[in-house]
Each structure stands twice: as C-alpha cells, then as structure tokens.
Structure 1
Amino acid sequence: MPGTFPAGAPTLSGDLLTIHRLLQSPTQIQRRLREFTDLRFVSDQILTQRFRTSGGAVMYEVSEPITNARAAESVGAGSEYPHANIGVGTAALAAVQKWGQAVLLTDEQVKRSVYAGAAVDRALRKVVNTIISKVDALTISAIGSAVTGTVAAGAGWGMTTATILRDLEKARAAIIDENQGYNPDIILMSSTKYALMASDTVVASLRQRETTDNPIYAGKIDLVDGLTVITTSSANLPSDDVWVADSQQLGGMADEAEVDPGYTVGDMAVQVQSERLARRDAWDLWGRRLTVPVIQEPLAARKITGTNATS
C-alpha cells in the first residue's frame, strides 16, 4: 500500500504543528467519497440481461435467428405440415472469472483518520469502485470486439456540416433492417460527443423550446431520436465513436448469484466481506464479483464512425 501506513503521528516544532492530512483535524472539511455513479460506469446499463451460470460457465447462442430457414408452405386439406429445423444461433461458452481485491485497515488508521467511524465504509466503497471499474472495462472491451457493424457519419460532429440526427437515424435503420426484432433504445458516447450533440444547431432547432427540459435550462439531453443517452469518459469506451444499441438484446452479465457465507451483496452484484484481525489490531476487508460479460446479439448494435473530425 503506498504511503506511510499508518500515517505518522503529529509533530510539534516550536509553535508549528505538523499533522498528516488524513489524521484527525477539527478544521478539516470531509470530502465526499465519489460513488460508482459519479464515476459513470456503464456496462450494466448496456448489457441489461442477466444469465445464470452452471459449473462456473454459461452456455449461450450468438445471433439466434427469429425465423426458420425453411419458408412456410401452402398446406392442402388432410396433408401433413412440412417440418423445418428450428433456427439456432452459434453455440458459445463463457467461463466466469472472479474479480476481487482486499485491503487492510488498522485500528490506528481508523482512530486517527478524520473520517473516524466511517473509515471502514469508505475503504469498502473504494474496493467496490475498483472492482466495478475493472468489470466495466472488460465489458466495454468485449462489446468493442464483438460489435463489428459500422455506419459512417455524414461529417464530423464538430463540423458545421454535421448531420447528427441523420447519423443516428442511419444507425437505427441499420439495426432494425437486420429483421431480427431489434429495437434500438440507447446511444453511448463520450462527454465531448455529447457536448457537440447538445449544442448542434440542427438538433437544438428541432427540440421543444421554452420548456425546462431543454438543455439550455436543464443542462442535459436524456432522450434523442427515441434513444436514451448514456455518457461516459472517452477513456471508458473501446473507441471514441458513438454507439447505438438495443440494450435488451445485445447481451448481459452472467453472474454466479449464490452468496457464500459471510458475504453481503453491494452495488452492481459486488459481494463484500470483512474480518476482524484481533491479534493485529486491524480489519481485513475484501470484495469480489464472479461474472463474465456475454455478447449474445452483436448485430443489435452499430458503431458510428467518423464523428471525430472538427474541420
């Protein structure tokens, strides 16, 4: 663990008191610990399905067709119906992995911390955030690898000739035209792309004016072209493109839902536990998530490319 552990005791030199920034100080203002929602993790908003695992793995079908290969035929009176093979997708198997982390929290660190009684909760929150961050990165990477369908933007979204709404419509049309019952409902983009979309003059001219849900008042667009807007840092994306998808069909997370003794389930299926180490005057805190992302219908998403150009 980096830094002094625990923090050094305060020192006094003449009239000068030196105290570690994390030690108790009556004048220090507590900084609110950032929640996972503040860090804008997005994987569970994109892969909304939930799969149950068996034996540490999940079996699923990729791109399962919604029709059979044999066409329906005219059936004469008294005749048997023609049989067809049931349409199936490509079988795939994904192994669940356990992602976890532990931290040690000494009694001295708890007693001398400005957060005092909240130190355990804060340490666990950091563990949970770290695990969610890892799973989020793996999930977004899997989406980036599986989704190969692209739609080219008419122009860079930072250009005066940008056709943002048309680009979204083209991506929606490409997904719907797969004729697999897909219904695109989300759009994923970086904060920068969102800023370009929200300030686009064409998009602005088509929105209802003089209403409090206008971005000029509310500061955000929650829905555009029938798509729920999800924004995150470009660092959280597989590439700084714009992604349109059917979140109900694209895929899901396969979690081992059984909770072993001593664990409690926290945010986004992360299981946490703590143990008192009496002989060490410390707490051992750890968390884990047993999961694997499953991309079941890669054709249910499109990547809009060419949005980065600004001139």
Structure 2
Amino acid sequence: MGYTYPVKHPTGTLTTAQLHLLLQNNKVIAKRVAELSKMKFIADWLLQGRFDATGGGIFYETGEPVFAADNPEAISPLGEYPLVVLDDGTVVAAKTDKWGLDTMISDEKIARQGRFYVDRGILRVTNTVIRFIDQVAMAVIASRVSSTFTSGTWDSAGAAVEALLTIQAERANLGIGLELDTIVLRPAQYAKVIGMLIDDKALPRESGETAIKGNLPVDALGLTWATTPNFQGANPLLLDRDNLGGMADEKLGGPNYASAGDFGVEVKSIRDEDAEGYKVRARRVTVPVVTEPLAGVQLTGTGL
C-alpha cells in the first residue's frame, strides 16, 4: 500500500436533506471516509503481511529460518529426492485491541455549516484512529528491531551510501535472504537527509521534484526513504518491508458497520433522536506483529 500525505479534499455542495441521507447510510459514509482520508496507515506500508486475528489474537513464528538446513543433492534418473525437515521459529502470541473514537454531529451544525462540518468530523475521527495505530505500530517496530549499526556521521551523500551499503552487506552475509531497502526517519531527520541529497545532486530530477513537493516515499540511492510524525525514535530505521511483519486484523462485524476502503477502518453512523444528531464512529481492531526482527536495524551515530 502506498503512503502519501493527505491530498486536497473533494469540493461540492450538498443540501441539508442530502447530508442527512448520507449520515443515515453507513456504506456511503465508509466510501466518504475512503475518499477523504488519503493519509494511509504507514503501519500497513511497513508491516506488509496480512494476518487474520479471528478470535481476538494470533499465534505466529518469529525468527523462522529462510533457508533449509540441508543443501540440494544431485538426483540420478529415477532417483529419490532427499527429504529435509524445515526448522520452526519461536511461537509468539499477540492479542488484538479495539481502538475507536466517536464524534457527534448535530442537526444544527448540519443545517448551518453543511458539508464542510460533516467532512471535517468524519476526517478528524478517522485520521485520529490512523495516527494512534501508526504510533502503536512504530513503537512495536522500534522495540522489536533491537539490532544497531554505528554508521558514522552522515555529512554527505557519499557517507550515507557507504554506511548503508556496509550494513546491507553485513545483513546479506548472514545468509537469511533479507534485503534492507527502506529507511524511516523522523520528519526533522528526513528534511536534513533530503537537503543533503539535493545539495550533493544525489537525487534524480524526478525524485528531487517529489521531495520538494512533499510527497512520499522518495526513491534515492537504491533505497526508499519515508518519514512519519508518528515515529519518534532517535535512530533512523533501515528495514526489509517484505519480511518485517504484518498487521493482524479482527473483523468483529456488528450491525451497520461498513469497511472504509482497504486500510482496516470500520465506520458507522448512529442516529440519536434525543440529542438530535448523529454519532459517527471509527474503529480498527488490530495488532501489529514483527515476525522477523533481523529484517531491520537501527542506525546510530548518523548525526541527524
């Protein structure tokens, strides 16, 4: 899944009656959430595995070897193939949490402020859920990816390349089939790196324009560079997104819930006749899991 900054919201006018109809149709609200909430989960982008947490939890193996213990053998005509027993990783359990938020949209706000207020309420609730789960996922990644590499100060594109190629080679020499190709930094660190790459003319023209416009991610030096305000670790992370882990979602169901796009949020609108308004709810039932801690490394000593 791509990760982009929020784009300009769709414009247009809906009548008060049309807004009431929208808020009474959960599938329409879910579609509206998907249209408005362009801020995708970075959690799903970094943890690309998709696990089913039916029942409220998941058992998964971590540190499972990528290669078999024995090598292939030459097979003669009509000969038998050797049988190899694959080693298992360590079994770990993780429990899902239901993260959610409500907001009230009154009939008065609908009549007086119209679509702008409705869109803003839907957007704030959804993006708040996204932000919080991203924070949880980034904290899990930072805690599970415990290995470090002292890279030396990144004062030029050359210094950064040397450090990154060195740790990539070290991890490749472990023979576990990992390819560290994505760097995640805090926004301030990201700004320094992009500025350095531009000054050293290390960004291709199209990537340089992308960086200046603020779109993510950026491809440079054979790596993918990304940032999120929901990562607060002191050290940049160098990751293998294909093997790092995944998000385990639980579909609780329940009356009138609708899925908002493909990023795990479920929404519903509940009419409150006593209060004369609508309670708009967004939730996600999930747990981030890191199945291969060696699919990442913390880069220390960069000076960023």
Normalising by the smaller structure, the TM-score range is 0.7 to 0.9
In the TM superposition, 1:102-141 aligns within 5 A as 102-113=102-113, 116-141=114-139
Contact 1:144 / 1:238 at 8 angstroms: preserved in 2?
no
Q: CA deviation at 1:180?
A: 1.4
Residue 100 of structure 1 corresponds to 100
Q: CA deviation at 1:160?
A: 6.5
Note closer, same or farther for the CA distance 1:287–1:136 as it changes in structure 2 (3 Å cut).
same
The DSSP-based 3-state class of the residue aligned with 2:60 is strand
Q: 1:286 aligns with which of 270, 281, 285?
A: 281
- RMSD between aligned alpha carbons? 3.2
1:198 maps to 2:191: no
Q: CA deviation at 1:223?
A: 1.1
**1:42 maps to amino acid:** I
Structure 2 residues not aligned, in runs of 5+ = 1-35
Residue 30 of structure 1 corresponds to none
Residue 227 of structure 1 corresponds to 223
2: CA distance, partners of 1:99 / 1:198: 34
Residue 144 of structure 1 corresponds to 142
The DSSP-based 3-state class of the residue aligned with 1:126 is helix
**1:96 maps to amino acid:** T
Residue 233 of structure 2 corresponds to 239
Instruction: Give the share of equivalent positions with the same residue, in percent.
Output: 31
Residue 15 of structure 2 corresponds to none
Q: CA deviation at 1:164?
A: 1.1
In the TM superposition, 1:49-68 aligns within 5 A as 49-68=49-68
Note closer, same or farther for the CA distance 1:152–1:81 as it changes in structure 2 (3 Å cut).
same
Note closer, same or farther for the CA distance 1:71–1:193 as it changes in structure 2 (3 Å cut).
same
Q: CA deviation at 1:68?
A: 3.8
Residue 174 of structure 1 corresponds to 170
- Say which structure, 1 or 2, has more relative contact order (CA 8 Å, 6+ apart): 2
Contact 2:182 / 2:238 at 8 angstroms: preserved in 1?
yes
Length, aligned pairs only: 267
TM-score of the pair, normalised by structure 1: 0.74
In the TM superposition, 1:77-96 aligns within 5 A as 84-96=84-96
Name the structure where helix makes up a greater proportion of residues: 2
In the TM superposition, 1:25-36 aligns within 5 A as none
1:296 maps to 2:291: yes
Q: 2:246 aligns with which of 245, 248, 252?
A: 252
Contact 1:188 / 1:230 at 8 angstroms: preserved in 2?
yes
**2:56 maps to amino acid:** G
Q: CA deviation at 1:200?
A: 2.6
Q: CA deviation at 1:135?
A: 0.6
Structure 1 residues not aligned, in runs of 5+ = 1-34
Moved more, 77-86 or 137-146: 77-86
Residue 46 of structure 2 corresponds to 46
Residue 184 of structure 1 corresponds to 180
Moved segments of 4+, more than 6 Å:
71-82
2: CA distance, partners of 1:125 / 1:202: 34
Contact 1:198 / 1:204 at 8 angstroms: preserved in 2?
no
1:213 maps to 2:211: no
Question: Which structure has the greater CA radius of gyration?
Answer: 1
Q: CA deviation at 1:165?
A: 1.2
Moved more, 116-125 or 66-75: 66-75
Moved more, 136-145 or 97-106: 97-106
